[in-house]
Chains A and B, each alone.
Chain A
């Protein structure tokens, strides 16, 4: 079964300016970084593996949020990608940053693209 899909993914071009403001809101981050709509081949099978291994236990099986872990399914791919980039850099942006940094630092750019689109779209 093919697990590859071609989706239009909004990819954040993250720069240092965005990372410098660790409390940036989604809107302000978008303003600071700009976004570009790119045709990306998104590997949803790979994303699902990451989700089940690294995301699901806290954020819930449908990314609906659980306990003190926020809902992700209502976020945009660019929002999720931006936050993962920040966590991957080691920057703390919330009370569960230590957990997020430990997971995000293992992710490649491609992984972040995949998981961001998957989480934002798979549970609609």
Chain B
């Protein structure tokens, strides 16, 4: 039986545009044999491309909007606009160098693990301070009253940015910036980056796109990072395509990425320190000839649909022929690329069998016969936590959307943002 939604595609949806409405929906809670009953609330609506959230224990929530800026929602529901992109009005202060273009703009956000003592937060954004422009990881101090940020320090200032359009799908400037910012249990700061449609970036030892950086809060490499000789020592893993999801296994502590594939093969990968994810879209290698604008990432036949396995054979997401020691993905979305974006681990008894499972937000694409696939998947690991044992599509108590971010809240609920402008709270139980 199809689930009932209260979100119509027709004009009544306009009533939901209030800025901070909390909309309860217990009547829409699901029941089923294989899923957890869920309720949902709208935490914020009418946002402009919300990209990421971060929480304090009391429920205080930082959130970013790609072209607008950084804001904080306090536990009483009041929203304070903190740091605007460019000249965006209404923010306590602005980064005049920050801008948005295509997929680029203000993206990931995190609280410092010692926030209570140091008031530090971290935000990743595209900046024109350098030429060519770059993506930067900024550190701020958040005021005691949560009304403003100060002390901006760009602890990473050299993540590549795509300056010009190219002859590719989604080929505009600003493509593939990665963008997630997360701390692990050891207090190490992870930043995920993307290939910027540049064939040279993923396997480059020095260009910091297509990497997972592991750094301290000053931007310095963690001492035991072990990339190959000659690599920038901030590199934890390399050879990625465009990582927008990273989470840490609650038992093993392993960093695990969820990555958006080309026209095939979204991937989940348990990272290995120094590992190569095996993405190498350079032309004239691995059996390929020339490709449009020096990037084979959508080849062959980049303008039409074709069998996904034929695509994968030509331009593998993880190229084991060229890189036999590449990190093996533990999930490839049945060979589809549907816009896998973010990842988190569910936590709490209320989640039942899903307590400790990974959730992955999928935005949906629908190109060339690929099912659109907007959803949140629940990924359950095997007893050794080394492989995927089962995947269940979460039965959602609301209409699906472009699930850009999934973040576990301190209240045991899962928060998810969709590009369409809403942050939802999903709570187990009915």
**A residues adjacent to B (C-beta < 8 A):** 48, 51-54, 56-58, 60-62, 64, 66-68, 94-96, 98-99, 101-102, 122-124
Chain B nearest Cβ from A54, distance in angstroms: 7
Q: Determine the distance from Cα of A95 to Cα of B368 in the docked complex, in whole angstroms.
A: 17
Q: Determine the distance from Cα of A47 to Cα of B165 in the docked complex, in whole angstroms.
A: 32
Q: Determine the distance from Cα of A101 to Cα of B165 in the docked complex, in whole angstroms.
A: 18
Is A60 a contact partner of B169 (Cβ separation < 8 A)?
Answer: no
Chain A nearest Cβ from B367, distance in angstroms: 6
Top 7 nearest A-B pairs (CB, nearest first) are A95-B172, A66-B419, A60-B420, A57-B364, A98-B169, A57-B372, A68-B102
Chain A CB within 8 A of B366 CB: yes
Chain A CB within 8 A of B93 CB: no
Given contacts A56-B9, A123-B14, contact A64 B304 (CB under 8 A): no
Contact bitstring B361-379, A, C-beta under 8 A = 1, else 0: 0011111100010100000
Given contacts A95-B171, A123-B14, contact A62 B402 (CB under 8 A): no
Q: Determine the distance from Cα of A26 to Cα of B11 in the docked complex, in whole angstroms.
A: 25
Is A98 a contact partner of B303 (Cβ separation < 8 A)?
Answer: yes
| Residues 359-405 of B at the A interface (beta carbon under 8 Å) | 363-368, 372, 374, 399, 401-402, 404
Give every chain A residue within 8 A of B10 (Cβ-Cβ). 122-123
Given contacts A102-B304, A102-B367, contact A57 B420 (CB under 8 A): no
Chain A CB within 8 A of B1 CB: no
Chain B nearest Cβ from A53, distance in angstroms: 8
Give every chain B residue within 8 A of A122 (Cβ-Cβ). 9-11
Is B372 a contact partner of A62 (Cβ separation < 8 A)?
Answer: no
Give every chain B residue within 8 A of A54 (Cβ-Cβ). 366
Give every chain A residue within 8 A of B173 (Cβ-Cβ). 95
Give every chain B residue within 8 A of A124 (Cβ-Cβ). 11, 14
Give every chain A residue within 8 A of B365 (Cβ-Cβ). 57-58
Q: List 9 A-B contacts (CB under 8 A).
A: A51-B9, A60-B402, A61-B7, A61-B401, A67-B66, A67-B404, A98-B169, A98-B171, A98-B303
Contacting residue for A66 out of B170, B171, B366, B402, CB 8 A: B402
Is B420 a contact partner of A61 (Cβ separation < 8 A)?
Answer: yes
Contacting residue for B366 out of A57, A94, A95, CB 8 A: A57
Chain B nearest Cβ from A5, distance in angstroms: 12
Q: Determine the distance from Cα of A94 to Cα of B170 in the docked complex, in whole angstroms.
A: 9
Q: Determine the distance from Cα of A56 to Cα of B373 in the docked complex, in whole angstroms.
A: 12
Chain A CB within 8 A of B313 CB: no
Q: Determine the distance from Cα of A94 to Cα of B49 in the docked complex, in whole angstroms.
A: 20
Is A95 a contact partner of B170 (Cβ separation < 8 A)?
Answer: yes
Is A61 a contact partner of B172 (Cβ separation < 8 A)?
Answer: no
Chain B nearest Cβ from A33, distance in angstroms: 26
Q: Determine the distance from Cα of A86 to Cα of B102 in the docked complex, in whole angstroms.
A: 21
Q: A101's closest neighbor in chain B, by CB?
A: B303
Chain A CB within 8 A of B13 CB: yes
Give every chain B residue within 8 A of A67 (Cβ-Cβ). 49, 66, 103, 363, 402, 404, 419
Give every chain B residue within 8 A of A62 (Cβ-Cβ). 9, 13, 420
Give every chain A residue within 8 A of B102 (Cβ-Cβ). 68, 95
Is A102 a contact partner of B305 (Cβ separation < 8 A)?
Answer: yes
Chain A nearest Cβ from B269, distance in angstroms: 23
Is B11 a contact partner of A123 (Cβ separation < 8 A)?
Answer: yes
Is A102 a contact partner of B402 (Cβ separation < 8 A)?
Answer: no
Most buried by B among A52, A62, A99: A62
Is B421 a contact partner of A94 (Cβ separation < 8 A)?
Answer: no
